[in-house]
């Protein structure tokens, strides 16, 4: 042996070696160890921490509902998070969670946006939300400098009872749509257009009955697929274009071991043309389920936002949104935003998680 180290056997170490070879001694008899011990079960759920939370809602109870992210292409650090107050309006927050603007136009439930809508010869950021106060489409532009909202709806556009909503821009036609998904299982698509006088009109383009109560939805502008959540059943997937007649398919079902009712918000994380992830809020177990965006939407992983040192975790989440675009030093590879049903201090709000904590980017 080198360095003066030599094996040194005492009667104790010898009996220990015998025990190790023979197995534990129980009631005076040596028992052989199990040939193939069960490996510890790894946790299949990824736990992440949020780094920012938005200002709490001005009212108690269930109020915050659905977020949408606007990425500022000129200065990504000056992007914005929009978030509905389903008891009465819509907020715009900066990336530190501070309020930049608030509208009080009614019980706005779900919100979505597209950043390149043609209006009056310019490209504008168009925001839509379902207004449950009068079952209309709330339509705004978001000013790229001030990050404030302007109502540009041509008129009160009456729809089926409002509830869930998202937007779609067809890769075939370039047309923009507001998509409604409601408690009666109805899906309605409304084509949005410049009315020639600086405001936005909407024309009903498709009506579909999907089953039970619907809410969360997201449309994929690259693949032309619309995903709709039936709260106690699962995730529907269908061709988004109004002319399509393919039967909707159930992508994943409540009871599969991944989704626990209600199925709520949905969002698409784009990593390349047509590639990335579909993320869905599984409200019943305070989790988010990640599927592949491409192909048959294979299951990837499940994660939860748990309590951190500064920001509490999320529970009972309704709406979510995600972007893979870098938003400055706080969110260099994008951000995931989730409504939190139980804020630790104060009313409900939204939590922001750096995306690289969730996805392999």
Torsion of CA 6, 11, 15, 20, to 10 degrees: -10
* Contact set with Ca ion (CB under 5 A): 53, 62, 66, 68, 112, 215, 312, 318, 340, 342-344
Q: CB of 293: closest distance to Ca ion in angstroms? A: 17
**Least spacing, CB of residue 252 vs Ca ion, in Å:** 17
Residue 194 or 322: the one with the smaller Cβ distance to Ca ion is 322
Enumerate long-range contacts of 57-62, CB under 8 Å, 24 or more apart.
57/85, 57/87, 57/347, 57/348, 57/349, 58/85, 58/347, 59/85, 59/87, 59/88, 59/347, 60/347, 61/87, 61/347, 62/86, 62/87, 62/341, 62/348
Q: How far is the CB of 247 from Ca ion (least distance, A)?
A: 24
Shortest distance, CB of residue 233 to Ca ion, whole angstroms?
Answer: 13
- From residue 196, alpha-carbon distances to 121, 154, 193, 199, 334 in Å are 10, 10, 9, 7, 36
Q: Kindly tell me which of 297 and 317 has the beta carbon lying closer to Ca ion.
A: 317
Query: Is the CB of 118 or the CB of 342 nearer to Ca ion?
Result: 342
Annotate 242-301 with DSSP letters as a single string.
TT--PPPEEEEEBTSSSB-SPEEEEEEEEEETTEEEEEEEEGGGTEEEEEESSTT--EEE
Least distance to Ca ion, CB of residue 137, Å: 14
Nearest to Ca ion of 217, 251 (CB atom): 217
Instruction: Using the minimum distance from each CB to Ca ion, give the nearer residue, 68 or 202.
Output: 68
Nearest to 213 by CA among 140, 283, 164, 158: 164
Q: Which is nearer to Ca ion, 53 or 194 (CB)?
A: 53
C-beta of 75: minimal distance to Ca ion in Å? 23
């Amino acid at each position: 042996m080198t360095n003066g180290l030599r094996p040194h056997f005492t009667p104790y170490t010898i009996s220990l070696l015998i025990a190790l070879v023979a197995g534990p001694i129980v009631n005076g008899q040596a028992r052989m160890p199990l040939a193939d011990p069960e490996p510890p079960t790894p946790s299949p759920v990824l736990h992440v921490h949020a780094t920012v939370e938005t200002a709490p809602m001005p009212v108690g109870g269930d109020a915050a509902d659905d977020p949408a992210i606007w990425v500022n292409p000129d200065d990504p650090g000056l992007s914005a998070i929009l978030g509905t107050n389903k008891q009465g309006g819509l907020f715009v927050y900066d990336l530190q969670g501070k309020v930049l603007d608030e509208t009080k136009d009614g019980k706005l439930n779900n919100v979505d946006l597209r950043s390149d809508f043609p209006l009056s010869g310019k490209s504008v950021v168009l925001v839509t939300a379902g207004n449950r106060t009068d079952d209309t489409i709330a339509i705004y532009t978001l000013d790229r400098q001030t990050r404030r909202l302007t109502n540009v709806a041509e008129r009160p556009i009456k729809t089926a009872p409002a509830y869930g909503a998202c937007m779609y821009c067809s890769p075939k036609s370039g047309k923009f749509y507001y998509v409604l998904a409601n408690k009666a299982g109805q899906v309605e698509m409304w084509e949005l257009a410049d009315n020639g006088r600086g405001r936005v009109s909407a024309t009903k383009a498709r009506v579909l009955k999907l089953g039970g109560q619907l809410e969360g939805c997201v449309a994929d502008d690259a693949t032309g697929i619309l995903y709709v959540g039936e709260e106690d059943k699962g995730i529907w997937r269908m061709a988004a274009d109004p002319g399509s007649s393919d039967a909707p398919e159930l992508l994943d079902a409540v009871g599969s071991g991944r989704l626990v009712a209600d199925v709520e918000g949905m969002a698409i994380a784009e990593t390349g043309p047509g590639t990335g992830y579909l993320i869905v809020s599984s409200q019943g177990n305070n989790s988010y389920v990640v599927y592949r965006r491409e192909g048959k939407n294979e299951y990837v992983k499940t994660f939860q936002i748990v309590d951190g040192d500064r920001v509490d975790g999320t529970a009972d989440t309704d709406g979510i949104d995600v972007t893979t675009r870098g938003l400055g030093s706080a969110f260099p590879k994008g951000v995931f935003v989730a409504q939190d049903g139980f804020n630790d201090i104060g009313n409900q709000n939204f939590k922001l998680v750096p995306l690289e904590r969730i996805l392999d980017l």
